[in-house]
Amino acid sequence: YEINYRDWSSDVCSSDLVYLDNAASTVDEALDFLSEKAVEAGYAPDKQAVLDAFKAREAEGTTGMMEGFAIPHAKSDAISKAAVIVVKFAGDVAWDSMDKKPINVAIALCIPGAEAGTTHLKILSDVAVLLMNEKFRSEVRAATDGATIAKIINDGLK
């Protein structure tokens, strides 16, 4: 059945899933952190399964986009509930990107396997559109707290 992601809760991105000044400097460190946070937040019971899903997607082609943003995504039956996790890194992350620039912000999608063709594609498409907007990118970069970043993303997705 079709799932409208706007029905998950009032907001797609929760401020308690926004992390600032993360020390990761490689894609593997970033994906490991994201997987750990998905488990801590109760979206999946098995960190390794989430990490494997993130890595499998990267192996198909980089999720490093443009202007310092990446959209890593994990689709797995190990994920019980869809989540958007945002990480602003303290420095540059060496991540293969479309414009060959390092990544500073990851907007990660964790999607249950059963929703891979519906929820996942809708959010991925909407986030990709947001990333084309210079105002959105600069607002996320300038924001210094999780609540502000979550609001910018949620407002953009409405």
Residues with a catalytic annotation lie at: 73
Q: What contacts 38, CB < 8 A, 6 or more positions away?
A: 44, 47, 50, 74, 79, 83, 85, 110
d(CA 66, CA 77): 29
CA distances in angstroms from 58 to 21, 71, 104, 125, listed in the order given: 23, 10, 17, 17
Strands 69-70 and 103-112, sheet pairing = parallel
Torsion of CA 121, 122, 123, 129, to 10 degrees: 100
d(CA 48, CA 56): 12
Provide the β-strand partners of residue 22.
Answer: 89
